[in-house]
Amino acid sequence: MQEKIEKRKKPFQFKRSFPGRKSKRKENVSFFKPEIAPALKKVLAKIGKPHPTPFVPDDFQVKALEAINKTDCLVIAPTGSGKTWIAREAILSVMEKGGRAWYASPLKALSNSKWVEFGLHFDPENVGIITGDTKENTEAPIIVGTTEILRNQLYDAMHHGKDLNCDLVILDEAHFLGDADRGVVWEEIMIYLPARVNLLLLSATIGNGEEIAQWLESIRKKSCVVIREEKRPVPLYPIFLHPSGCLHPFLDGKKVSLPVANILKKADEKRLRGRNMPDYVGIIRILERFNLLPAIFFLKSRAECDAALTARGALPPLRNSREFDDSLYDLLDRFPSLSGHRQLKALRSSGIASHHGGQLPAWKMLVEEMMNRGHLRVIFATSTIAAGVNFPARTIVLFNSDLFNGNDFNPLSATEFSQMTGRAGRRGQDNIGFMLAVSGKFMDLNHIRHLLFQKPEDIFSRLKNDFAMVLNLLLSQTPEDIRKIFERSLAAYQQNIRHHGATMSAAKSLWTDFSRHLKFLQKEGFVDETGSLTDDGRWASKLRLDYPLLVAQCLRENAFPEDNEKILAAAVAFFAYDRDDDMKMTVKDLPPKLLLSFKKVVLAARPLIHRMETAGFATVKLHASAGAAMYYWAQGHSWDSVIKATGIAEGDMASLILRTGDNLRQITSLKDTYPEIAACAYRAREAILREPVLFL
């Protein structure tokens, strides 16, 4: 992956040179001379904290609350503008009538955060949580959880012929409806949710909100009110860092300012050359000099975020206040495993931190909390920080105009850009927020200019079939019912509205693909000739996993141990690792017991994998190294020793454990069919879900 990052196409290359100085410089020594253009003086004079005023809801908040108390509502408003206030007030209105509310988010971290927040607001006994690894107070009138859990509850309600025990559903980050991988879950919820349950959708970035609302009205037979708020709670001012170290306005009206135009001209003439690492020290000093901290530096990779921490060597030490120390010790008491974290020194001494998916969830939470409390100068982060997690800064700093999507680099979309710039400016703490664009080898300044005036992209349906979905729909629906579901899909609606007379309709395409899945399930004995689930199909439907058929086949072939929870955790982990395998371990490194288990799993799964591939279905590569890492962890080895032995990133190991735990949870639901395996799976979850991965 890192090789892909370095080889991506460069908009232009950039290298700083200074008259009379040698081009080589000592690491972490900054040659920037902090300056500002005269035009910025009036703007920077606005920096400060707004005067406290009594809270008065904005008009859009009042209108949204009036709407959701009567019908469905889609709220599209900038980050930090108060969408959560609408959610809380709507929940309160439902509770006062004796009703129940479900708050769903795309991220476990966001669900955990809302659980705590709602517990403080509504009292803990009124709030429960359900995620893949946490289940507390599930009979409470307010449930917080992930969208996948809510979708699964709708599957169960349809299967048992019951209504969802809920009166209000809130889908936060509703733009995930257009997410390539997970958008299907959002669309399923919207299709299956009983019309009597009011639906509140919250997002900062949906371009075609009216179209989404019209689709919902067509399938739910009730109005969906769209509430748009364009005004940011804190105004955004874009600025530009010239190679000399001088800050300039980025724009002159709707055009780029003259200093930016000059840089673009030089770039076009290819007179600028790239440099390996930006001058983070110099940039931090400039931002500090002009009161533009705290800041979030958006960088291209995990490795770059961690490498940037070396900048602390040339930064003046942070003057830690008593509040800083109290906050840090309070958080370390909560997460004692972080007391020896290798990046703690940079945070404590210089007030800088790295935040990305390769880190422990607990560390990311500590960083977020220290930032929220105003104790940090800078966070070096990948773009994942922009979605869902709430910790804004006074300034966000962009070094790249493209984004890595897991496979390739693509230019930043308006939606992604909006998510990033949405972090600039803290409501109640800043009069003004800033976006700083820095010239560099992967920065197209013209693209950034366009994004400043572009609206978020339209959302398109991502509905698609997979075996878990097909099995769960067949629990309660006939194939003919499912065909009608596809006709009600957003995909069918959008094609009908946008592309009249297409050769094959979206609904027909979905139905054709469903039929392909159905025929394969019939051949494998999970569905009978009439389209009903067999006994195997009924229990396999409870395996709401990425690869339910492969796990089901291992159960059929007795490839999983019944009496060794450590081996079972490892065997399930073979299927759960979802990243490139860059661990140090290979099959030859497996302990004898685990090697035997791996061979049994391969023997059971490989023929089915071959049949799936022949039929054109996606399959999984079985990762022996993931099983080895999980086996050592389940045995009780220390976190540091497992990380050292495997070479896996801490965040990836945490993700593997949580995914394995979720898979094991699905297996525990098979207690009527496979009681011994289900009991062993329960013990396996207990063995692996512990600190520092699991915390409250």
| Residue after which a domain boundary falls, among 161, 196, 228 | 228
Between residues 19 and 396, the one the model is more confident about: 396
Does 10 lie in the same domain as 155? no
Does 396 have pLDDT greater than 70?
A: yes
Does 493 lie in the same domain as 589? no
Angle of helix 639-646 relative to helix 624-634, nearest 10 degrees?
160
Whether the upstream peptide bond of residue 317 has omega within 30° of 0, thus cis, is: no
Does 357 lie in the same domain as 261? yes
- Specify if 201 maps to a domain: yes
| Residue after which a domain boundary falls, among 195, 228, 261 | 228
Q: DSSP letter at 564?
A: -
Between residues 385 and 257, the one the model is more confident about: 257
Nearest alpha-carbon partner for 82 in 197, 260, 232, 220: 232
Confidence at residue 271, expressed as pLDDT on a 0 to 100 scale: 41
Confidence at residue 695, expressed as pLDDT on a 0 to 100 scale: 63
Q: For residue 641, what is the domain's CATH number?
A: 1.10.3380.30
Between residues 23 and 203, the one the model is more confident about: 203
Q: Which of 26-30, 73-77, 414-418 shows the lowest per-residue confidence on average (mean pLDDT)?
A: 26-30
Structure tokens belonging to residue 106 = 């795309």
Confidence at residue 332, expressed as pLDDT on a 0 to 100 scale: 94
- Specify if 435 maps to a domain: yes
Does 220 lie in the same domain as 86? yes
Does 63 have pLDDT greater than 90?
A: yes
Does 93 have pLDDT greater than 60?
A: yes
With a pLDDT cut of 70, the percent of the chain lying above it is 91
Residue 460 is which amino acid? F
Mean pLDDT of the 6-19 span: 40
Mean pLDDT of the 198-227 span: 97
Confidence at residue 276, expressed as pLDDT on a 0 to 100 scale: 58
Does 501 have pLDDT greater than 60?
A: no
Mean pLDDT of the 261-271 span: 71
Does 241 lie in the same domain as 388? yes
Q: How confident is the model at residue 186 (pLDDT cuts 50, 70, 90)?
A: very high
Structure tokens belonging to residue 691 = 């600190």
- Specify if 694 maps to a domain: no
Does 254 lie in the same domain as 150? no
With a pLDDT cut of 90, the percent of the chain lying above it is 73
What is the overall mean pLDDT for the chain? 89
Q: Tens of pLDDT along 437-452?
A: 999 888 999 999 999 9
- Specify if 71 maps to a domain: yes
Does 23 have pLDDT greater than 50?
A: no
Does 387 have pLDDT greater than 70?
A: no
Name, in order, each residue with C-beta under 8 angstroms of 573's C-beta and a sequence gap of 6 or more.
623, 626, 627, 629, 630, 656, 660
Does 490 lie in the same domain as 438? no
Confidence at residue 343, expressed as pLDDT on a 0 to 100 scale: 94
- Specify if 86 maps to a domain: yes
Q: Which of 14-18, 192-196, 278-282 shows the lowest per-residue confidence on average (mean pLDDT)?
A: 14-18
Between residues 174 and 271, the one the model is more confident about: 174
Confidence at residue 30, expressed as pLDDT on a 0 to 100 scale: 53
Q: Tens of pLDDT along 95-132?
A: 999 999 999 999 887 888 899 899 999 999 999 999 88
Q: Which of 301-310, 484-493, 603-612, 677-686 shows the lowest per-residue confidence on average (mean pLDDT)?
A: 301-310
Q: For residue 408, what is the domain's CATH number?
A: 3.40.50.300
Cα dist from 509 to 16, 265, 532, whole Å: 54, 48, 22
Q: How confident is the model at residue 4 (pLDDT cuts 50, 70, 90)?
A: very low
- Specify if 73 maps to a domain: yes
What does pTM read for this prediction?
A: 0.91
Does 120 lie in the same domain as 269? no
- Specify if 49 maps to a domain: no
Between residues 139 and 316, the one the model is more confident about: 139
Does 282 lie in the same domain as 190? no
Q: How confident is the model at residue 623 (pLDDT cuts 50, 70, 90)?
A: confident
Q: How confident is the model at residue 17 (pLDDT cuts 50, 70, 90)?
A: very low
The number of C-alpha atoms within 13 Å of 690 and in the hemisphere containing its C-beta is 13
Does 422 have pLDDT greater than 70?
A: yes
Does 372 have pLDDT greater than 80?
A: yes
Does 672 lie in the same domain as 547? yes
Mean pLDDT of the 385-404 span: 82
Confidence at residue 83, expressed as pLDDT on a 0 to 100 scale: 95
Name, in order, each residue with C-beta under 8 angstroms of 118's C-beta and a sequence gap of 6 or more.
88, 91, 103, 126, 127, 142, 144
Nearest alpha-carbon partner for 151 in 195, 190, 200: 190
Confidence at residue 446, expressed as pLDDT on a 0 to 100 scale: 95
* Structural domain count, the chain: 4
SS3 645: helix
- Specify if 627 maps to a domain: yes
Q: What residue numbers bound the domain in which 107 lies?
A: 59-228
Does 508 lie in the same domain as 432? no
Does 409 lie in the same domain as 274? yes
In the numeric block, the tokens 């922009």 are attached to 386
Does 185 have pLDDT greater than 50?
A: yes
Strand-by-strand arrangement of the 224-228 sheet:
135-136, 127-130, 142-146, 101-105, 168-171, 198-203, 72-76, 224-228
| Residue after which a domain boundary falls, among 399, 423, 452 | 452
